[in-house]
Each structure stands twice: as C-alpha cells, then as structure tokens.
C-alpha cells in the first residue's frame, strides 16, 4: 500500500510527551514512545488537531523551502480567499497582491476563481447519479482521508472531482503555455491554511500527481506580507493584471455552508473533525435519511479556522462575507478562466478511484482477523478500561489493538505492571524499565 505523505511533524527537542496531542487525535494515530509523541502514518489524516492542542509547539507543519519558487522563470502563487481574510480592512487587496509580486512571484491567481466551474460540475455529477445520495463533498482532504481510513463503506458517496486549487493550477499553466512559456519554466505554488492540503498535494488521492509544484504555509506568507507593508505607506496600489472577478459564491466557498448553500435539496454543513465523525457514523448506520448533500470540513468554521490561520476565525469570516456581499453588487467580468471553462470541465473528474485504506482491518485474512479480534476482547477483559494513557496509547482499546498487532506489550499497562510485580513475574526495576520505554529515562532518573 502506498504511504500517505504527512505534513505534520514532531520536534524531538520541543516534545515532552505530555499526551495532549494523543488524547486530542480523532483517529488515535498518536502514541508516546521514549518520552516523545509519534504519529502513525497509516492512521493520521492531517486534520491538525494535534498542532492546535500542543502547548509546547512541538508539532509543526513542514512546508517547502520558499526559495524553491526561484527554480522557475514563471512563478504562480495560488491564493485562497481565506488568506485575504487574514488582513484587517485597512489593508487593500491591491497591497497584498503587490507584496506577493515583490516577494518574487510573477503572477497571483485567486484559487477560488474556478469555483463556479467546479460547482457546475458538481451539480451535473449529482444530477446524473441520484442513486449515490447522500453525496459527500471532497473539498476537505482531511475528511477524504478520514473516510478512507475509518469509513470506507462511505467512499462511493464522495464526489470524485478535482477541487478549485487543482483547476486553478491547471488553468494557470494552460494560460502561460498559450502565451508561449515552456511548461518546465512554470512553477505553481499554493498558499495553504492547513496541513491536509499539503498532504493532498504531495500524495493526491485519485490521481498520480498534483498540478501544484509546491506549498507555502499561510502563516509564513501572512508574516512576509505584513513585514512588507510596514516598510511602505498604505497608498492603494494599481490593480494586478492577474486578478479576475470572483462571484459571491466563490468568495464564500471555503467558509462553512459555502458549498451546502449552493445546492438544492436537503444539504448539511458540518465542521470540526469530531462533529464530522459523528455525522459519518450516523450516515454509515443509516440514522440519517433523505440527505442530498453533505459538506464536511475538518476545521472549526472550515478554512477560517485552519491550523495555519493567524487571525481570529470570526473576524476572517466577517471580512470574507463583507467581500462576498460587495461582489454581489458588481457585474461579472469576462476573464481568462471563463474562456477556458470547457477545457477545465473536461479536466474536473479525477482520473483514478478514491480507494479505502481501513485502519480498522486487523488482517487481510478474515479468519486471522477474527482471531485477532477475539484476542483484543480477551485483553480488554483483563485490563481496567480507564483510558488513563499511562501506557503511551490513547485508550485501553488502542493498547489492546497494538498488542495484538505486535506494536506494543501488555506489560506497558501500569495496572498490569503492578499485578506482574505482585506475582513476582517481574521485578520493580523491570517495571521501571518498561515505563522508561514509554516515557523516557529522564523521568525516572531520580528513582535510581
């Protein structure tokens, strides 16, 4: 099985093994070993809950080296609307665009310019496949991965279309190539509000390669723009030639209800990963009926609450809604992306399938999997089920699964250690050694 790329990393120097991230992880992907948090690549969906929870800032989002943009003669930056929402009203869009050009980009493209084409393709997909209701948006890559690893039975309900950032990247390349620029001289870089978008670009689902060459974290770009603005006055700058008209629907697309409000029928909009899990469980168990479309976003208040957001999400939402309202009063402008609408509609369907990657499966052999499940049940019958986390796993069930899969030992349970010591099966020093393997030797030095 091909490995997922993960943008979330743990800094060994900063991590203290405090377990906050382990407890917060919605897919039980984190363990503590040798006093450090470790992330299980098979279970992680890059939702960013660990990043938001870590009080030591030991978890970070790995991004591409910014200087990579200079490997290309023509450097396109894809800018989602949520980036503009990070800035206060006195900072004009023209100033932000000008600062991006000053950084070294040769063209600025707002990612959401392709939303109207995508929304039309989604309507057509749903219209022609009514038997697949409820349709699930593929906007949030953390949710798509969550469905792959925890809800594989729901995969056929996910709309298998490329997203706005992909279409905008494809269009930017097409436009430059029509202007005579060789393809190998074009670099397309996306400014991301979250780790999941990075993972989706580095190892895309349903296609072999992303049309995006690199990813830059939103907080990094925000700080660079702010630094540039402090060195200049606030005089509005000339309108950038790479910009185009964005419809109200496109501007609001990345916000909660951005998709759900665009379609007919009974549509639900759910944000925050634990709420998403709850709804997926209800859908999987047929507890929800007559649902046409489900918009699922892993972050609280969608991309406005992304892990790499630098500003208060409620202020970001207010700014984007104000921008959307202002756009509603403007007549649509004909731009280059509209001229390529037919070409982009041909590109929108994912060339490959979204496949299950279930972490719940204990073994490919059904009989072996059943035997392992019975072992888990036996282990659960003798451990205390208090989910204290002292074993370095988030729950007793997680430890039992790890034991059966050969990833842990039952003696890691502190309650079992006490029993083993009382029975004379291990010495107190051996119990300390077992604990050291989880929490690191430094925590036990004063006992020796």
DSSP for 40-103?
A: -TTT-----HHHHH-SS--EEE----GGGGGGSSEEEEEE-HHHHTTS-TTS-HHHHHHHHHHH
Residue range 300-304: average pLDDT? Answer: 94
Kindly report, residue by residue over 242-290, the tens digit of the pLDDT. Answer: 556 788 999 999 999 999 999 999 999 999 999 999 999 999 999 998 9
Percent of the chain with pLDDT over 70: 94
Q: Distance from CA of residue 403 to its chain's centroid? A: 29
What's the confidence (pLDDT) of residue 116?
A: 92
Specify the pLDDT at position 331: 58
Q: What is the C-alpha to C-alpha distance for residues 98 and 82, in angstroms, rounded to an integer? A: 17
Name the β-bridge partners of 187: 75
Residues 384-425: pLDDT tens digits? 899 999 999 999 999 999 999 999 999 999 999 888 888 888
Answer yes or no: is pLDDT of 97 > 80: yes
* Residue 197, SS3 per DSSP: helix
Task: Determine the topology of domain 66-120+155-255+302-347 in CATH.
Answer: Rossmann fold (3.40.50)
Within the chain, which residue ranges are assigned CATH 3.30.70.20? 8-61
- Asked whether the predicted pLDDT for residue 114 surpasses 80, the reply is yes
Mean pLDDT of the chain: 90
Is the C-alpha dihedral spanning 392, 397, 403, 405 positive or negative?
negative
CATH topology of domain 8-61: Alpha-Beta Plaits (3.30.70)
What is the C-alpha separation between 345 and 342, in angstroms, rounded?
5
Residues of the chain within CATH 3.40.50 domain(s) are: 66-120+155-255+302-347
Position 12 confidence tier, pLDDT thresholds 50, 70, 90 = very high
d(CA 424, CA 418): 10
Burial class, 18, CB count within 10 angstroms (exposed 0-12 / middle 13-18 / buried 19+): middle
Closest CA to 121 of 135, 108, 131: 135
pLDDT tens-digit readout, 140-159: 999 999 999 999 999 999 99
Confidence (pTM): 0.89
**CB atoms near residue 345 (< 10 Å):** 15
């Amino acid at each position: 099985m091909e490995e997922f790329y993960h943008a979330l990393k743990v800094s060994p120097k900063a991590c203290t093994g405090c377990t906050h991230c382990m407890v917060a992880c919605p897919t039980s992907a984190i363990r503590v070993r040798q006093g450090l948090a470790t992330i299980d690549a098979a279970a992680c969906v890059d939702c960013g809950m660990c990043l938001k929870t870590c009080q030591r800032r030991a978890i970070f989002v790995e991004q591409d080296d910014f200087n990579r943009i200079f490997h290309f003669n023509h450097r396109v930056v894809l800018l989602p609307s949520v980036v503009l929402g990070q800035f206060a009203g006195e900072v004009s869009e023209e100033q932000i665009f000008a600062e991006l050009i000053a950084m070294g980009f040769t063209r600025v493209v707002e990612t959401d310019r392709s939303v109207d084409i995508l929304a039309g393709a989604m309507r057509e997909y749903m219209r022609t496949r009514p038997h697949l209701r409820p349709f699930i948006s593929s906007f949030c890559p953390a949710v798509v991965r969550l469905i792959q690893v925890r809800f594989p039975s729901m995969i056929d309900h996910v709309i298998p279309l490329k997203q706005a950032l992909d279409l905008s990247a494809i269009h930017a390349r097409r436009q430059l190539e029509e202007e005579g620029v060789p393809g190998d001289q074009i670099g397309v870089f996306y400014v991301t509000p979250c780790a999941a978008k990075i993972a989706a670009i580095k190892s895309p689902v349903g296609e072999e390669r992303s049309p995006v060459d690199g990813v830059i974290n939103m907080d990094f770009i925000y700080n660079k723009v702010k630094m540039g603005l402090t060195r200049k006055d606030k005089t509005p700058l000339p309108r950038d030639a790479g910009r185009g008209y964005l419809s109200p629907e496109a501007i609001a697309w990345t916000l909660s209800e951005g998709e759900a409000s665009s379609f007919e029928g009974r549509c639900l909009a759910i944000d925050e990963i634990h709420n998403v899990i709850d709804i997926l469980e209800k859908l999987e168990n047929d507890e929800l009926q007559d649902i046409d479309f489900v918009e699922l976003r892993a972050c609280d208040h969608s991309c406005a609450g992304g892990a790499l957001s630098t500003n208060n999400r409620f202020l970001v939402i207010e700014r984007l809604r104000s921008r959307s309202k202002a756009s509603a009063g403007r007549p649509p402008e004909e731009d280059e992306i509209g001229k390529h609408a037919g070409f982009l509609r041909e590109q929108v369907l994912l060339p490959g399938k979204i496949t299950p990657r279930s972490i719940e499966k204990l073994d490919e052999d059904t009989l072996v999997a059943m035997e392992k499940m019975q072992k888990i049940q036996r282990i659960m019958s003798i451990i205390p089920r208090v989910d204290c986390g002292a074993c370095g796993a988030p729950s007793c069930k997680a430890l039992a699964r790890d034991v059966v899969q050969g990833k842990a030992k039952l003696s890691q349970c502190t309650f079992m250690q006490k029993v083993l010591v009382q029975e004379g099966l291990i010495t107190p020093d051996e119990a300390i050694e077992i604990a050291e393997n989880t929490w690191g030797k430094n925590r036990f030095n004063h006992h020796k």
